[in-house]
Amino acid sequence: MTPTPAPGRRTPLARLRGPATFLALLAAALLLLPHLLEPFRLNLLTQYLCYSIVALGIALAWGRGGMLTLGHGVYFGLGAYAMAIHLTLAATAADPLTRGRLPQFMAWSGRTELPWFWQALTHPAAAVTAALLLPAALATLLGWSVFRQRVRGAYFALLNQALAAAFVILLIGQQHLTGGSNGLTDFPVFAGHSLYTPTAQTTLYTLTVLTLAATYLLLRHLTHSRYGRLLIAIRDGEDRVRYLGYDPTWAKTLAYALSATAAGAAGALFVPVMGIISPTLIGVVPSIMMVLAVAIGGRDSLAGAAAGALIMNTAQTTFSETFTGGWTYLQGALFVVVIALAPHGLAGLAHTARAALRRPRTPAPAQETATAGSTP
Amino acid sequence: MDALVNQLPTGLAIGAVLLLAALGLNFTFGQMGVINMAHGEFIMVGAYTAYVLHAWAGLDPTWSLIAALPLAFTLTGTLGWLLELGLIRHFYGRPLDTLLLTFGIGMILQQAARDTFGAPNVDVPAPGWLTDGTTLPGGIRLHHSRLFILALALVCVLAIAHYLHRTHQGRQMRAVIHNRDLAGVSGINTRKVDATTFFIGSGLAGVAGVALTLIGPTGPTLGANYIVDAFLVVVIGGLGRLRGTVLAAFALGILNATAQAWTDASLAKLLVFAAIIAFLQARPQGLFTVKTRALT
Amino acid sequence: MTLLDIRDLTVTFGAFTALDHIDLTLDHGELRFLIGPNGAGKTTLIDTITGRTRPTSGTITFNGHTLNKRSEHHIVRAGIGRTFQTSVVFEHLTVADNVDLAASFRLRPWQLLRRPRTPHPEVPDLLERVGLTPHTHALAGTLSHGQRQWLEIAMLLAQHPRLLLLDEPVAGMSAAERTRTGELLTRIAADHTVVVIEHDMDFLRRYARQVTVLHEGRILTHGDLATVQNDPRVQEVYLGRTPQETRP
């Protein structure tokens, strides 16, 4: 029998090379791209990188932990709305016409007082905290209560989807509190700084890249810990794990909550970059698109998932502008093709390609490389 | 209690619609564990079948309704049969992958509908005898179209129960659900049973689609609007339990109606969701369960 | 000294009684074989001890503590380990990582979050014991059926259980694998309390000392192998023959 290295477990050299290359590339991109890209493209790229952060979280929960989360738009949305509410308040305060009064949409719908959760988000630090903690808290609550009862697999996926549907209906229905289906838009300032300057755009870009890198490193550390192996074990045999003396509930809840927090952070970054947040960006379909990006990139690979989000969103912008209908067909076909033919996504294809390229060069190496490859 | 009684007709009406949408899922998800996200689009195809019969073929509302029911059943059944034959059967045992796969199919069908019929909603006029309503003593109004849907749902339930328990194929189907390997070695053609199950399950989506044209406009996203709730019905009802599906559909319908009357429609959905999570604390496997020894 | 004490245990599934007022005690250091025809309740008994199935009535006391309402992982932590009829190892983890995960179950959650520099110190020794050292870094999914069973035993030993419950450890094994498993079992039994469910009569003759026979959810008889083998009731229900036929 030929022992083969486990995916995500490579030679010590490759282990170092993987993140080192990734970080070097990121650093180069961080320094160079703002100078190379025109502001419009830089803005788009920043948006895509926000989705890459979401993808990292989904790769942890789904790829490692087997929890198919069809409702990550909710967590992205909680982060985004926390930030958008704060930015709307900042805009209202800065605008000489509305200074000290309610945002226009609220005044139009007949409200005379700011709702309590708006007031709570007046301070920028409160907004950032809420963008991270609200998704974490909701995911912990939902995750703990269903995982504890061993609700999993398809049931869990469908519950997530139902949550996304309910959340969007709530946002649309509570027009006087949330801006309804128009959402919230027009964010000129954050913490006293204008968001419309090129410097602001570069800063947002840098922040997004840093958040992406930090998320990647944290999750990468986790996937290499015993906890990471425990997640894989839970994915492949949750009941069996119980007979190893572990309680899967906390392990799953943690992965799910972390992935929700990543989505919240991404949402908070997305809002000042995009300049708008509305229910159409976070509903059932956007949520499942976030999962599609991970499937395309490769659910087993963090870097693959992040790249998948970047690639899919770039393609979306490129194609949907020219032929809208055609892009939907293509997206639908992508689901089928990726799941049917490349379940490990682009990362899996890259892995296979690399293995195929390496083989002819060294004769009879299968045993050797494999053994060396699996040295811990 | 008073509020509950007042909301009962509305709740039953919502429940009947949910039941019709979920009945097909009882076959494909409940019996086979396959999550067919394109089920919603099959519902949509059923609705457009009624539209085509009326608007393109020029049948009058009564005849188009009567003709659409079997036609939609056959059409969406065939679509489901093809889907099972071409894709799904390669993915048994991988429910989450099937889910994503069929979502892709759903997207394609939705876009195809948009390209064929246009994005705006179309209307299929209901037959005159269904547009009326009856007012009960106490001021509660019963729409005839709702009563028709309720009756249709119940007829479907009875037909399914009869099929599963009284016919040879139905018994084979239950045998396969209960123990696929054992059924296989007992000489049951499990492939054929799978295909039949999918045909019937998807066909029921078509019937649901025709029924939905009676209570609202038809558009490319018609099915998508119902599918989330329909899946919840099966989740609450428990895998593969017809009884569970029926009870869950009406429970969810009444819960929705009561919550809506109590707060407003947008908050109601979230309350219903919270109620479902609470329910799962007591009955994590749904209303009815099948015990299994398999280790997962 | 009693390690496991089962009193008046009944388990019903709907109208079906899987276990019918079972009394069973197990002493420290014992090696007990549990036999019986299909549907006798052997696996249900193990399932009930390990928390997989809830008892309808009766009590299970382990080392002085009642196990009745505890969840699976708590029972494992109390010191009861088990294997399954169909071996379930984690195919996407290496052999070493499988054992390492099993050995690390007493770590606190935050300790699990750290990246391990070295595998658990006992892993090489355990793999040596079950003869899987050459496969240390192979994915468990690449192992043969017999090797998987041994890996499961290594995982079980890594947890230092006071009581091991093995559900048909030699089912589906080749003759050579059976012998090896039997020897492994003998060595393990030297310093552990072990319960083995087994169908294989040849294996039983070679390694069994004390045998308990279950039939239709009841304990039919109990004793050393020779006594049990010669019990006409056992021959009737277990071998499905009348005593006369079995005598040559």
Q: What is the DSSP string of chain B?
A: -HHHHHHHHHHHHHHHHHHHHHHHHIIIIIIT----TTHHHHHHHHHHHHHIIIIIT---HHHHHHHHHHHHHHHHHHHHHHHHHHTGGGGTT-HHHHHHHHHHHHHHHHHHHHHHH-SS-B--PPPHHHH-EEEPTTS-EEEHHHHHHHHHHHHHHHHHHHHHHHSHHHHHHHHHHH-HHHHHHTT--HHHHHHHHHHHHHHHHHHHHHHHTTTS-B-TTHHHHHHHHHHHHHHHH-TT-HHHHHHHHHHHHHHHHHHHHHS-HHHHHHHHHHHHHHHHHH-TT-SS--------
| B295 has a pLDDT exceeding 60 | no
**Per-window interface: B 265-294 vs C, CB < 8 A:** 291, 293
Mean pLDDT of B113-142: 82
Q: Is the pLDDT of residue A375 over 50?
A: no
**Residue A180 backbone zone (phi > 0: left; psi -120 to 50: alpha; other: beta):** left
Q: What confidence score (pLDDT) does residue A62 get?
A: 96
Residue linked to tokens 């477990």: A9
E strands in chain C: 2-13, 16-27, 31-35, 57-62, 65-66, 80-82, 163-167, 193-197, 210-215, 218-224
The CA distance from A312 to A327, in Å, is 11
Neighbors of chain B by Cβ distance (3+ pairs < 8 Å): A, C
What are the angstrom distances between the C-alpha of B209 and each of A51, A108, B60, B124? 35, 39, 18, 12
- Chain C residues with CB-CB distance to A221 below 8 A: 115
Of C81, C93, C105, the CB nearest to A246: C105
Percent of chain A with pLDDT strictly greater than 90: 59
Tokens of B139: 């001021």
Give mean pLDDT, residues B150-158: 93
Q: Is B273 on the interface with A (CB under 8 A)?
A: yes
Q: Among C46, C67, C77, C105, pick the best mutation site for testing chain A contact (most A Cβ within 10 A).
A: C105
The DSSP code for A243 is T
Residue A371 predicted with pLDDT over 80: no
| Residue of chain B minimizing CA distance to C13 | B291
> Which residues in chain B are closer than 8 Å to A170, comparing Cβ atoms?
266-267, 269-270
Given a cut of 80, whether residue B6 has pLDDT beyond it is no
Cβ within 8 Å, pair A243-C72: yes
Query: A221 to chain C nearest CA, in Å?
Result: 7
Average pLDDT, chain C: 88
Radius of gyration of chain C from Cα atoms?
A: 19
Distance of CA A191 to the CA centre of its chain: 25
CA distance B104 to chain A (A): 4
Query: In this predicted structure, which of A238-242, B67-71, C67-71, C121-125 has the lowest mean pLDDT?
Result: C67-71
Report the C-alpha gap between C74 and C77 in whole angstroms: 5
Closest residue in A to B105 (Cα–Cα): A332
Region A70-96: what's the mean pLDDT? 93
CB pair distance less than 8 Å for A227 and C112: yes
A330 contacts chain B (CB < 8 A): no
> How far apart are the C-alpha atoms of B103 and A295, rounded to whole Å?
13
Residue B188 CA: distances (Å) to CA of B26, B28, B168, B170, B175: 21, 19, 11, 12, 9
What pLDDT score was predicted for residue A313?
Answer: 92
Q: Would you say residue A372 has pLDDT above 50?
A: no
pLDDT tens-digit series, residues B221-263 = 998 888 989 999 988 887 667 888 899 999 999 888 888 887 7
Report d(CA B81, CA B91) in Å as an integer.
15
Using an 8 Å CB-CB cutoff, list chain A residues near B231.
Answer: 158, 161-162
Q: What is the mean pLDDT of chain A?
A: 86
Average model confidence (pLDDT) across chain B? 86
Place of tokens 């398809």: A154
Q: Which of C158, C152, C160 is nearest to C181 (CA)?
A: C152
Comparing alpha-carbon positions, the chain A residue that sits nearest to B90 is: A340
Give me the percent of chain C exceeding a pLDDT of 70: 96
Find the helix or strand (DSSP H, E) in which A190 lies.
strand A189-190
Q: Any bridge partners for residue C212, and if so which?
A: C34, C222
Predicted confidence band of residue A328 (pLDDT cuts 50, 70, 90): confident
pLDDT at A365: 38
User: What's the CA gap between C103 and A319, in Å, rounded?
Assistant: 52
Beta-carbon contacts of residue C112 (< 8 Å; ≥ 6 apart): A225, A226, A227, A230, C104
Which residues does chain A have within 8 Å of residue C163's beta carbon, measured at their own beta carbons? none
* Whole-number Å distance between alpha carbons of B43 and B220: 10
Please tell me the predicted confidence (pLDDT) of residue B180.
Answer: 78
Distance CA C54, CA C73 (A): 14
pLDDT in tens, C166-220: 998 888 888 888 998 999 998 899 889 999 998 777 888 888 888 999 988 899 8
Q: What is the ipTM of this complex?
A: 0.89
CB-CB neighbours of C70 under 10 Å: 17
pLDDT at B115: 93
Structure tokens at A73: 């738009």
pLDDT for res B75 = 97
- Reported as a pLDDT band with limits 50, 70 and 90, residue C155 is very high
Beta carbons of B295 and A237 less than 8 Å apart? yes
Put simply, the answer to whether C112 touches A230 (Cβ < 8 Å) is yes
Q: Which of A64, A70, A142, A158 to probe the B interface (max B CBs under 10 A)?
A: A158
What's the whole-model pTM score? 0.90
**Given this model, what pLDDT does residue A376 score?**
33
Q: What token pair was written down for C57?
A: 């009535």
pLDDT at A360: 59
Give the per-residue pLDDT at C159.
92
Contact call for A6 and C143, based on CB within 8 A:
no
- Give the residue from A374, A317, A315, A311 showing the smallest Cα distance to A345: A311
CB contact under 8 A, C86 and B291: no
More confident residue, C202 or C106: C106
- CB contact A181 to B (< 8 Å): no
- B162 or A3, greater pLDDT: B162
Q: What is the pLDDT of residue C246?
A: 41
pLDDT per position as a tens digit, A26-63: 677 777 888 888 888 999 999 999 999 999 999 999 99
Closest among A125, A123, A102 to A179, alpha carbons compared = A102
| pLDDT > 70? residue A91 | yes
> What is the predicted pLDDT for the residue at A7?
46
Instruction: Reduce the DSSP state of residue A189 to 3 states and report it.
Output: strand
pLDDT at res. C247 = 41
Q: How many helices (H) and strands (E) does chain A have?
A: 16, 4
Across the interface, do B291 and C43 touch by the CB < 8 Å criterion?
no
Confidence of residue B80 (pLDDT cuts 50, 70, 90): very high
C155 vs A contacts (CB less than 8 Å): 244
Q: Which residues of C touch B295 (CB under 8 A)?
A: 84, 86, 88
Domains in chain B, CATH or no CATH each: 2-282 (1.10.3470)
Region C128-142 average pLDDT: 93
Average pLDDT (A242-256) is 95
Q: Quick one: pLDDT at residue C234?
A: 82
Least CB–CB distance from A1: residue in C105, C113, C142: C142
Q: How far is A320 from chain B (nearest CA, A)?
A: 13
- Number of Cβ atoms within 10 Å of the Cβ of B98: 26
In this prediction, residue A18 carries a pLDDT of 59
CA dist., res. A198 & res. A109, Å (int): 35
